[in-house]
Amino acid sequence: MDFDVAYEGKAKQLILLEDDRDHYVQRFKDDATAFNGEKFAQFEGKGALNNAISSFLFEKLEEAGVLTHYIERRTETDMLIRKLEIVPLEVVVRNHVAGSLGRRTGLKEGSKVDPPIVETYYKKDELGDPILADVHIKMLDIVDDEELDQIKQAALRVNDVLQPIFEKAGIRLVDFKLEFGVDSAGAIILGDEISPDTSRLWDIESGDSLDKDVFRYDKGELIEAYEEVAERLGVEV
Ligand code: C5P
């Protein structure tokens, strides 16, 4: 084996670098899971597509002044990232009603969420990633009030940068999930990935899903949908 895996997630690996404690290689896998691991499949080429799309979006965010862990795209499936201490929150931004928001509120699928909202979920598989109110985040001592505020502001800023990029590509950015971390200086930094695995992307004209819902709900060919996203964004895979 030519590398050491520091962390193995459902769709990614973090790989340790020799003589470099400040960075990881983030490798995107072809594995797809849904419903907390109940549904599983592999799609050849998914890792490369997500790496290319994520790299492109992180570059756009960096250009807009958002601090991210992204350094560079290394190979088809690998990106070089800064090492962060991950905050165990899944931060979801929503522009339209879909998924669990519809189930929780009864609001109509697709209706506009105006202004956009930010939700926080506990990143804990064994609990099924439950939604957390600010009081729970405080009680669990996950982050302090100021850090939580910074995370929410950064999530909305990411939305402001990404929405027009997708709109120009004829894609509605319905919702997406972010993860943040803290660097060695204590700054809040955007981590993880932003890809069709972690967002809902709807064709503005047809309303068709171009994201992981294709796999979750058997709506068509996942690779075709992800390729469509890459092509429309002008991303070379
Ligand atoms: O399921 P829900 O509607 O709460 O998902 C909101 C958004 O967050 C979707 O884009 C979904 O793909 C993403 N998500 C994720 N990882 C999770 C939960 C949700 O990427 N563990």
pLDDT at 2: 52
Please tell me the distance between residue 141's alpha carbon and the centre of ligand 1 in angstroms: 23
- Whether domain 85-221 has CATH 3.30.470.20: the reply is yes
Report whether residue 177 contacts ligand 1, using a CB cutoff of 6 Å: yes
For the domain spanning 4-82, the CATH number is 3.30.200.20
Tell me what ipTM this predicted complex has: 0.98
Predicted confidence (pLDDT) per residue in 210-234, tens digit: 999 999 999 999 999 999 999 999 9
Supply the pLDDT for residue 1: 42
Cβ of 88 below 6 Å from ligand 1: no
For the chain, which residues score pLDDT lower than 50? Answer: 1
Residue of the CA atom closest to atom 8 of ligand 1: 177
The candidate with the shortest Cα–Cα distance to 221, out of 24, 88, 41, 11, is: 41
Query: Which residue blocks in the chain are alpha helix, DSSP H?
Result: 46-63, 99-105, 134-139, 145-168, 213-216, 222-233
Residue 40 near residue 30, CB atoms below 8 Å: no
- Spatial contact of 188 and 69, defined as CB atoms under 8 Å apart: no
What's the pLDDT score for residue 182?
Answer: 96
Sequence spans of domains, the chain: 4-82, 85-221
Each residue of 123-168: pLDDT tens digit?
999 999 999 999 999 999 999 999 999 999 999 999 999 999 999 9
**139: alpha, beta or left, given left = phi > 0 and alpha = psi -120 to 50?**
alpha
Ligand 1 atom closest to the Cα of residue 177 is 8
Question: In the prediction, which pLDDT does 211 show?
Answer: 98
For 11, the 3-state DSSP assignment is coil
- Distance (Å, rounded) from C-alpha 19 to C-alpha 25? 13
